[in-house]
Structure 1
Amino acid sequence: MQQLSPIDALMLYIESANAPNQLNPIIIYEPDTDNGGVVRFKSILQNIESRLHLAPSFRRKLAFPPLHLDDPYWVDDENFDLEFHVRHIALPKPGDWRQFCILVSRLIAQRVDLSRPPWEIIVVEGLDNIEGLPPGCFAVLYKIHHACMDGVSGAELLSVLQDLSPDGSGYRPAPDWQPEPAPGQYQLLFRAGKKLLSRPTHTLGVAKKILPILRAGKTVEKKNSAGLRVPHTRFNSTPSPHRAFEACFFPLSEVKKIRALAPHSTVNDVALAIVAGGLRHYLQAKEELPDDSLVAAVPVSTRSDASGGGNEISAQTTKLFTEIADPQQRLAAICAAMQENKAYLNAVGAKELAGLSTIMPGQMLAYMAKTALSLSGKMGRDLLANTVVTNVPGAQVPLYFTGAKAIKMFGGGPILLNMSLTHVISSYCGEMAINITACRNLMPDPAFYRECLQRSFDELLQASL
């Protein structure tokens, strides 16, 4: 039995019925058809089952203390059923990209069952008419609650299901699994009471650590927040339960050419510039482009090692300079802003600030956070950001799953209460993907937004030639 960390608990409580806090990696595989290889669903189930012991979180569910007096615990699911978590569907013919995106949109809108281990795997066959993909490909869509993992630990979790060769060598068969007995409600109540009694002393300790950091960061915050007025856009409204999903792909070799436009720029800076140009084109077409720059929230991993699951993240905000028409100037401005923001991020001490969530029960802190988000959505000038742009680096060597080779790796992320558009930047084997998850009511035309992102990329690439 292991209690959720304060940040993991916050990831659980801050979601709403219309905004489930789930991560949705997607991997498309090509079976080895030259050698007659056909991947059966039965083989996929056997493969996953043989690796469950490599990531204990696969078979852990949440146990909530009575009256929610404390944060929940991870406990073994004594009734774990693999076939509930791994499912199998197929696209109808012709099996094109539009059909696939519509299906993904519907699947990611559905919440995972929190009475079971909070993850699902959906195998999607019938991808037979997608440009750039050979017939016979299948996709694997993951639905994993954010309380289980952040982007870094998520990549580690997915890695236990991937191989470096088609034969699947390099792992040991699963030993017999015996679940540990789950705690009773009286035991959880006792633990919660003990923690509540110690909370005043703990609060003083957290305050002693945080107050000096806040004072040190105050000056830096003033320097960096100048001009960071967040304009209101169509994406800064309460989301519906419906989702829109899209993705576009760019060669990393061409992304590196674009980096040469701005000294010291990074791949992440280029991705932000592509998103900025795409938003500019999209909102211009709707005659809704604000005079002030749009602002992005950029999650940053604070993980100090490669072990452990859960969440170790912070976030910074940055202007996207959508008021600048010239794509090269926009990239240079974004690069300069990101360099300046590093000082603020270090000064704030994100991991120490996470201690605030140990002062009060997670639900109370989440209620305060959701209230702040809701109020900021009604006061345009007080918005935190217009959109989320997060970078999840991927493998740059070929990966395999049940003998099939992964040829594309991408996926979506959660949207927030008043930020109904999320961009996930991912990369795999020399290709960068920009993935879009949005409220369908606020972005009814995701394919057009994909065209806007492609146009933004083409403008930057043309400027680099």
Structure 2
Amino acid sequence: MITKLTPQDASFYQLESSTNPMHIGSLAIVRDPHPDDGSGRPPLDYDRLVALVERRLPLVPRYRRKVREVPLALGPPVWVEDSHFDITYHVRRSALPVPGSDAQLHDLVARLASRPLDHTRPLWEMYLIEGLSGGRRAIFTKTHSSLVDGNTSLEIGHVILDTGPAPREVADDCWIAPREPNDVELLAVRLAELAGRPGEALEAVRHAGAEAVSFAGATGRALERAVRGGAGRTDSPFNARTSRNRRFDMVRTDLDNYREIRKRFDCSINDVVLAVVAGALRIFLQSRGTVLTESAALRAVVPMSVYAESPYGDRLKPVGEVSSFLIDLPVGEPNPVMRLSHIAHATEEHARHRRGVRARTLVHMAGFAPASLHAMSVRAASTFAENAFNLMITNAPGPQQPMYIGGARMLEMYPVSPLLRNQASSIGITSYDGRVFYGLNADRDAMADIGVLSAAVHESMEEMLGACVQ
């Protein structure tokens, strides 16, 4: 089956560069069943992970398809079935020297996140990382942003999770690799389409062979022009030409702390998250010797999948819309309560006029949605011009009960969001099982001190909690 990429899919595919690979990453840390727990469940080894992924592929059929260019650039790229699909190419194995530390895991994830995906194959990879201390393993998944749209296609890390130790049953897969179309056949299909559309045919011929012009590129530029009229960002260390290499760090915090602050100041958990981030950014900038006036701000694009809370604040669930907006984080404000107040007012105003990206599939699927929601958030962020903001923050809620991968309990989950052009850092945030996890992806050269920002998250949280008792 030949299917055209949507304009946004095509823009992600064609605008990728070696220094800005456009894949969404997720890092899950799991613990194998203990031999003495009486469950009799085997550990999550490589063969079991391959078998699990293969059984779940029918839920994400696009993961067996690859992108092909139409000859003579007569149309957008297309999805075709990969006739040589090899699951063992995509699900890989890696290991740390036992006992592997979190710092070693960070370095490995950074290296894996730095490498672009192979565009001659389906655009995803999954790594089982063994050797972590404390009987833990990690699963790092990276999926090209063109692959996940949250509606017809979800992120594969979403579908391999279960709500209990016993993997759920899925329908048997009868997929047989079809013959892949050659260039002549792709061209014939496109010419047949153009035969009934003379206007589109004329436009295609005009631009055929022009490497810098494509249907997707035109769409991307139109989106850029739509937002370029707004106020631009301020200069900051978070905006720099990126290298090929990355740094990664992660932060663990408690969801109850956010709930306590939310209750004390009558705001949303999203507001508290942004206030904690703003405080951490303030501390980070000060550590670099930046002189901050009281009015200083960093502009963030916040394509946030909003938390839907019960009246009692005891439940969190994803909603069916991912909203994208620009917000000025008041990093110059020394008072944490005032920072939170500024952010709460700004998000309330944006809520009245927000534009959303629908994600209907996510609403109706049980299980763990953040990986797919982060992919949707990056798509929403990409609609803003690169000079409109300083950094991207994505925030996606997850279930507040344990989840499992092949019988192994998931302990932690971290997003690894890509760096957009001239963005030296991105911050991904996910809540799960009573914790809030931060994944900080950064350029290796521009953000060598990313660990300072990670530590500053805890310092900012303590400052917010201290304000609650005053």
Whether TM exceeds 0.5 here: the answer is: yes
Q: Judge conservation of contact 1:233–1:288 (CA < 8 Å) in 2.
A: no
Q: Report the alpha carbon displacement of residue 350 of structure 1 after superposing the two structures with TM.
A: 7.1
1:305-324 equivalent positions in 2, closer than 5 A:
315-324=324-333
Structure 1 residues 290 and 17: alpha-carbon distance in aligned structure 2, compared to 1, 3 A threshold: farther
2:411 maps to which of 397, 407, 418: 407
1:251 maps to which of 228, 250, 254: 254
Q: Following the alignment from structure 2 to structure 1, what is the Cα–Cα distance between the partners of residues 272 and 73?
A: 44
2:186 maps to which of 175, 188, 207: 188
1:228-243 equivalent positions in 2, closer than 5 A:
230-243=233-246
* Secondary structure at the counterpart of residue 282 of structure 1: helix
* Secondary structure at the counterpart of residue 51 of structure 1: helix
Q: Following the alignment from structure 2 to structure 1, what is the Cα–Cα distance between the partners of residues 151 and 260?
A: 27
Structure 1 residues 79 and 55: alpha-carbon distance in aligned structure 2, compared to 1, 3 A threshold: same
1:20 aligned residue: 21
Structure 1 residues 254 and 324: alpha-carbon distance in aligned structure 2, compared to 1, 3 A threshold: same
- Kindly indicate whether residue 50 of structure 2 is the aligned counterpart of residue 45 of structure 1: yes
TM-score, structure 1 as length reference = 0.79
- Kindly indicate whether residue 394 of structure 2 is the aligned counterpart of residue 390 of structure 1: yes
1:176 maps to which of 170, 174, 177: 174
Q: Following the alignment from structure 1 to structure 2, what is the Cα–Cα distance between the partners of residues 152 and 392?
A: 16
1:128-147 equivalent positions in 2, closer than 5 A:
128=133, 135-147=134-146
1:159-174 equivalent positions in 2, closer than 5 A:
159-172=158-171, 174=172
- Kindly indicate whether residue 35 of structure 2 is the aligned counterpart of residue 31 of structure 1: no
2:123 aligned residue: 118
Q: Judge conservation of contact 1:262–1:335 (CA < 8 Å) in 2.
A: no
Q: Report the alpha carbon displacement of residue 15 of structure 1 after superposing the two structures with TM.
A: 2.0
Q: Report the alpha carbon displacement of residue 267 of structure 1 after superposing the two structures with TM.
A: 1.9
Q: Following the alignment from structure 1 to structure 2, what is the Cα–Cα distance between the partners of residues 289 and 442?
A: 19
2:73 aligned residue: 68
* Secondary structure at the counterpart of residue 91 of structure 1: strand
- Kindly indicate whether residue 62 of structure 2 is the aligned counterpart of residue 57 of structure 1: yes
TM-score, structure 2 as length reference = 0.79
Could you tell me which runs of 5 or more consecutive residues in structure 2 were left unpaired when the two chains were aligned. Answer: 204-218, 307-320, 359-381
Q: Deviations over 1:194-215 (max 9, x none)?
A: 457444999xxxxxxx9xxx9x
Q: Report the alpha carbon displacement of residue 159 of structure 1 after superposing the two structures with TM.
A: 3.0
Q: Following the alignment from structure 2 to structure 1, what is the Cα–Cα distance between the partners of residues 421 and 103?
A: 27
2:147 aligned residue: 148
1:417 aligned residue: 421
1:320-399 equivalent positions in 2, closer than 5 A:
320-346=329-355, 373=386, 383-399=387-403
Q: Deviations over 1:215-245 (max 9, x none)?
A: xx99xx99xx6xx552101221110111011
Q: Judge conservation of contact 1:424–1:436 (CA < 8 Å) in 2.
A: yes
Structure 1 residues 181 and 262: alpha-carbon distance in aligned structure 2, compared to 1, 3 A threshold: farther
Q: CA RMSD in A?
A: 3.0
* Secondary structure at the counterpart of residue 161 of structure 2: coil
Q: Judge conservation of contact 1:230–1:293 (CA < 8 Å) in 2.
A: no
1:207 aligned residue: none
Q: Deviations over 1:361-407 (max 9, x none)?
A: xxxxxxxx99964xxxxxxxxx3111001112222222111111111
* Secondary structure at the counterpart of residue 124 of structure 1: strand
Structure 1 residues 398 and 370: alpha-carbon distance in aligned structure 2, compared to 1, 3 A threshold: closer
Q: 2:20 is aligned with what amino acid?
A: A
Q: 2:247 is aligned with what amino acid?
A: A
* Secondary structure at the counterpart of residue 443 of structure 1: coil
* Secondary structure at the counterpart of residue 74 of structure 1: strand
Q: Judge conservation of contact 1:250–1:432 (CA < 8 Å) in 2.
A: yes
Q: Following the alignment from structure 1 to structure 2, what is the Cα–Cα distance between the partners of residues 55 and 335?
A: 37
2:369 aligned residue: none
- Kindly indicate whether residue 100 of structure 2 is the aligned counterpart of residue 95 of structure 1: yes
Could you tell me which runs of 5 or more consecutive residues in structure 1 were left unpaired when the two chains were aligned. Answer: 129-134, 203-209, 303-311, 352-368, 374-382
1:416-455 equivalent positions in 2, closer than 5 A:
416-455=420-459
Q: Following the alignment from structure 2 to structure 1, what is the Cα–Cα distance between the partners of residues 385 and 43?
A: 51
Q: Following the alignment from structure 1 to structure 2, what is the Cα–Cα distance between the partners of residues 390 and 326?
A: 24
Q: Following the alignment from structure 1 to structure 2, what is the Cα–Cα distance between the partners of residues 191 and 153?
A: 23
Q: How many residue pairs end up in the alignment?
A: 403
* % identity of equivalent residues: 31
Structure 1 residues 232 and 290: alpha-carbon distance in aligned structure 2, compared to 1, 3 A threshold: farther
Q: Deviations over 1:389-431 (max 9, x none)?
A: 1112222222111111111111211001111211111111121
2:206 aligned residue: none
* Secondary structure at the counterpart of residue 435 of structure 1: strand
Q: 1:30 is aligned with what amino acid?
A: R
Structure 1 residues 328 and 51: alpha-carbon distance in aligned structure 2, compared to 1, 3 A threshold: same
More displaced 10-residue stretch of structure 1: 92-101 or 228-237:
228-237
Q: Deviations over 1:92-133 (max 9, x none)?
A: 1331111111111111001111110100000011110xxxxx
1:158 aligned residue: 157
Q: Judge conservation of contact 1:245–1:438 (CA < 8 Å) in 2.
A: yes
Q: Following the alignment from structure 1 to structure 2, what is the Cα–Cα distance between the partners of residues 55 and 428?
A: 23
Q: Judge conservation of contact 2:304–2:396 (CA < 8 Å) in 1.
A: no
More helix by share: 1
Q: Judge conservation of contact 2:299–2:326 (CA < 8 Å) in 1.
A: yes
* Secondary structure at the counterpart of residue 260 of structure 1: helix
Q: Report the alpha carbon displacement of residue 329 of structure 1 after superposing the two structures with TM.
A: 0.7
Structure 1 residues 371 and 186: alpha-carbon distance in aligned structure 2, compared to 1, 3 A threshold: farther
* Secondary structure at the counterpart of residue 50 of structure 1: helix
Q: Following the alignment from structure 1 to structure 2, what is the Cα–Cα distance between the partners of residues 423 and 125?
A: 25
Q: Judge conservation of contact 1:411–1:435 (CA < 8 Å) in 2.
A: yes
Structure 1 residues 179 and 313: alpha-carbon distance in aligned structure 2, compared to 1, 3 A threshold: farther
Q: Judge conservation of contact 2:85–2:177 (CA < 8 Å) in 1.
A: no
Q: Report the alpha carbon displacement of residue 155 of structure 1 after superposing the two structures with TM.
A: 6.0
Q: 1:274 is aligned with what amino acid?
A: V
Q: Judge conservation of contact 1:370–1:417 (CA < 8 Å) in 2.
A: no
Q: Following the alignment from structure 2 to structure 1, what is the Cα–Cα distance between the partners of residues 344 and 445?
A: 32
Q: Report the alpha carbon displacement of residue 463 of structure 1 after superposing the two structures with TM.
A: 1.3
Q: Following the alignment from structure 1 to structure 2, what is the Cα–Cα distance between the partners of residues 271 and 153?
A: 30
Q: Judge conservation of contact 2:232–2:388 (CA < 8 Å) in 1.
A: no
